Amino acid sequence: MNPIDHTKFLIEQNVFGVCERMGERLHMPVKNIRLFFIYASCLTIGSPVIVYMILAFWMRMKDYIRSRRTPVWDF
């Protein structure tokens, strides 16, 4: 695997997964959502990056809360 493909793989797999989750919830291809974020970031001088980071933080907190919550019947 050449360095460019390796970097692309790491970015797609490890950058928070916001676009992937949005694609699953909206039943849209992930590629289209990623392209929207890229084009919107270029046109609006980076403001969608702030939205992306807020969504990433919110999703991580939601996962953390769900993982820490124990079922009622586990005593």
Query: Quick check: is 28 in a domain?
Result: yes
Query: Quick check: is 33 in a domain?
Result: yes
Query: Quick check: is 31 in a domain?
Result: yes
**Which secondary-structure segment (H or E) carries 27?**
none
pTM: 0.61
Residue 52: count other Cβ atoms within 10 Å of its Cβ. 19
Rounded (5°) CA angle 27-31-33: 65
**What's the mean pLDDT in 15-42?**
86
pLDDT tens-place string over residues 38-67: 888 889 987 888 888 888 888 888 888 877
How many domains is the chain built from?
1
Choice between 9 and 44, residue whose per-residue pLDDT is larger = 44
What's the DSSP call for residue 2? -
Range(s) of the domain holding residue 61: 16-68
Q: Please, are residues 30 and 23 in contact by the beta-carbon 8 Å criterion?
A: yes
Query: Quick check: is 9 in a domain?
Result: no
Average pLDDT, the chain: 82
**pLDDT given at position 29:** 92
**pLDDT given at position 63:** 80
**Sign of the torsion angle spanned by Cα atoms 10, 14, 19, 20:** positive
